[in-house]
Amino acid sequence: MENARLLEIQIERVRERSLAGSICKGRVLRVLPGMQAAFVDIGLEKAAFLPGADFFPLSADEYADATPEDAHEPPPPDAPAAEGEDGADAKRRQRVLPPIEERLQKGQDVIVQISKEPIGTKGARVTSNISLPGRYLVYLPYSGQIGVSRRIASDEERQRLREAVEAVAPDSGGIIIRTACEGVSKKEIQSDLRLLRRQWQHLSKKAESFPAPAILHQELDVILRTMRDLSAPDVTRIVVDNRRDYQRILDFIDEVMPRWRPRVELYELVEPIFERYGIEAQINKALERKVWLKSGGYIVIDHTEALTAIDVNTGRFVGKTDQHDTMLRTNLEAARVIVDQLRLRNIGGLIIIDFIDMESAEDRKAVLAALNEALKGDKARATILGLSELGLVEMTRQRTRESLTQRLCEPCPTCGERGHVKAVATTAYEVLRRVRREATMNAAVQRIELTVHPQIAAFLAQHEPAALREIERELGMPVAMRQADSGNSAEYAVLAVVAQGAAQ
């Protein structure tokens, strides 16, 4: 959150751990010369897709010449390619590789890393360009270069960091110096590198003994991953409402970044943390098509299979001077809000923005500049292709996992799946949070009566059978649940009964 606004949300349920970043030993199922790609069995329901351009069975020097350091995920998004790439570098990186059928055969074992989660009907995307992210560095065992994040602006600091890494650089492997490395001592940097090298050695030994398919290394869960990837200048407080996770975070930062310990707080107020910070309401708004601007204008966000379309409208905003000023101010405000929404909703892929028509070239330039400026705070890589002949802004944004809508919603059965409604799982967890809220907001509450759709009741019984019992123990009161006769699965009722028997 920033200034009370929810900017990013990551959701990971224990039974659905994130796969991005996991390193696997896979077996090639099919090689497709016509697509210059292969399908690899990594142990998931669907085979993973390996593009030929992402498979490099080359020496470290050849590999460094053939691929950029950040051509894949999960190197953290604040760690772009090595500094100073010019036209010659680009041509070198784009050299023609042998056809994939000469480099891969059916039945061959390969070590790959999941760069994109399975999304919808598509399986995971994998790469052999392995990366191991640490707190300050990213170790690339098959590369051979040292790169520095472009977000580190000082030439003196860039040189200092390079020298610190080169002093203990491995004989093989590449290194990306992350933004979080800025201002960090030489000792801490070198300690991070030694830890990553030991991690790779352990992983390599597992690869020799495990039969394919097998997961050799799984990324940290969302809590510890967030701790690792936070940048010190950007974050002032980390607030945790679970004592067990609070202790896990303290143990983690004591090991890798002890200076952060004073910033971690255990939230112990009675009011639920999502209510306290207004998060629940902001999540619900992030699932709506229309987003209102403070000026009275609004944007509309629509998703299709191929792209995301965003339309800007003046709405209730009529301005104070003239039409030209109204359109420009609305577009400038919309540019900032659009980037906030891209981050919050985790929208990736091709994005088309239809700003309000502007006749002035100077105004169009100002709006594009505002869009670029707002994107500086977005850690996902984004590219603006400029204004098309139709007056549309075309851009792309890095996509490695599901959007918020994909994560929290499901196709609407009523309209033939043309729209979305809250997913059963989303509503079920919302109900559990609501029960806690109702029970803690009034000290006189004696019991909670819950009415939910049969699908919600079935989900809780199957996936969270102990959840209500745990809440009862935690709150010291009974929670009775009954099923509604009919209705929308997203509709539910939570009734808090106070000591006198009256409902609140």
Intra-chain end-to-end CA distance of the chain, in Å: 31
State the Cα angle at 423 between 419 and 425, rounded to 5°: 175
Within this chain, do residues 439 and 364 fall inside the same structural domain, yes or no? no
Within this chain, do residues 196 and 334 fall inside the same structural domain, yes or no? no
Confirm whether 151 is domain-assigned.
Answer: yes
Say whether pLDDT at 57 is over 70. no
CATH code of the domain containing 119: 2.40.50.140
Confirm whether 411 is domain-assigned.
Answer: no
Within this chain, do residues 131 and 93 fall inside the same structural domain, yes or no? yes
CA 417/CA 135 separation, integer angstroms: 42
pLDDT tens for residues 442-458?
A: 788 888 898 999 999 99
CA 44/CA 20 separation, integer angstroms: 13
CA 408/CA 283 separation, integer angstroms: 10
Token pair listed for 107: 């039945």
Confirm whether 374 is domain-assigned.
Answer: yes
Residue 151: what pLDDT?
79
Token pair listed for 366: 């100002």
142: exposed, middle or buried (C-beta count within 10 Å: 0-12, 13-18, 19+)? buried
Q: Which domain holds residue 448?
A: 423-498
CB 173 within 8 A of CB 104: no
CA 431/CA 467 separation, integer angstroms: 11
CATH code of the domain containing 493: 3.40.1260.20
pLDDT tens for residues 37-55?
A: 999 999 888 999 999 888 8
pLDDT tens for residues 273-308?
A: 999 999 989 999 999 999 999 888 899 999 888 899
pLDDT tens for residues 265-280?
A: 999 998 889 999 999 8
Say whether pLDDT at 89 is over 60. no
Within this chain, do residues 169 and 297 fall inside the same structural domain, yes or no? no
Which stretch of DSSP H or E encloses residue 225? helix 222-229
CB 174 within 8 A of CB 205: no
Residue 94: what pLDDT?
47
Among 171, 188, 218, residue at a domain's last position: 218
CA 392/CA 357 separation, integer angstroms: 9
Of 24-33, 88-97, 183-192, 319-328, the range with the highest mean pLDDT is: 24-33
Q: Which residues of 457-479 are buried (b: 16+ CB within 10 A; e: fewer)?
A: bebbeeebeebbeebbeebeeeb
Confirm whether 260 is domain-assigned.
Answer: no
User: The pTM is what?
Assistant: 0.66
Number of alpha carbons in the 13 Å side-chain half-sphere of residue 52: 19
Residue 62: what pLDDT?
42
Say whether pLDDT at 76 is over 50. no
Within this chain, do residues 362 and 445 fall inside the same structural domain, yes or no? no
Confirm whether 333 is domain-assigned.
Answer: yes
DSSP state of 98: P
Within this chain, do residues 447 and 368 fall inside the same structural domain, yes or no? no
> 503 pairs with which residues across the strands?
497
Say whether pLDDT at 213 is over 60. yes
Within this chain, do residues 189 and 319 fall inside the same structural domain, yes or no? no
* Peptide bond before residue 99 is cis, with ω within 30 degrees of 0: no
DSSP state of 432: H
Token pair listed for 396: 């792309």
Confirm whether 292 is domain-assigned.
Answer: yes
- Structural domains of the chain, count: 3
Among 404, 431, 466, residue at a domain's last position: 404
Which stretch of DSSP H or E encloses residue 192? helix 186-209
CA 173/CA 140 separation, integer angstroms: 5
Residue count of the chain, please give it.
Answer: 504
Among residues 471, 484, 487, the alpha carbon closest in space to that of 438 is found at 471
Within this chain, do residues 457 and 383 fall inside the same structural domain, yes or no? no
Residue 73: what pLDDT?
36
Task: Mean pLDDT check: name the lowest of 77-91, 321-335, 421-435, 463-477.
Answer: 77-91
Within this chain, do residues 168 and 31 fall inside the same structural domain, yes or no? yes
Within this chain, do residues 437 and 397 fall inside the same structural domain, yes or no? no
CB 317 within 8 A of CB 282: no
Confirm whether 441 is domain-assigned.
Answer: yes
Mean residue pLDDT across the chain: 83
CA 334/CA 340 separation, integer angstroms: 10
Within this chain, do residues 125 and 182 fall inside the same structural domain, yes or no? yes
pLDDT tens for residues 133-163?
A: 888 889 998 887 888 888 788 888 898 998 8
Among 169, 199, 218, residue at a domain's last position: 218
Confirm whether 87 is domain-assigned.
Answer: yes
Residue 429: what pLDDT?
92
CATH code of the domain containing 353: 3.40.630
Residue holding tokens 């000026």? 295
Say whether pLDDT at 86 is over 50. no
Within this chain, do residues 41 and 82 fall inside the same structural domain, yes or no? yes
* CA-to-CA separations, 126 to 11, 73, 315, 379, in angstroms, rounded: 22, 9, 44, 21
State the Cα angle at 291 between 118 and 438, rounded to 5°: 80
Q: Which residues of 269-284 are buried (b: 16+ CB within 10 A; e: fewer)?
A: eeebbbbebeebebbe
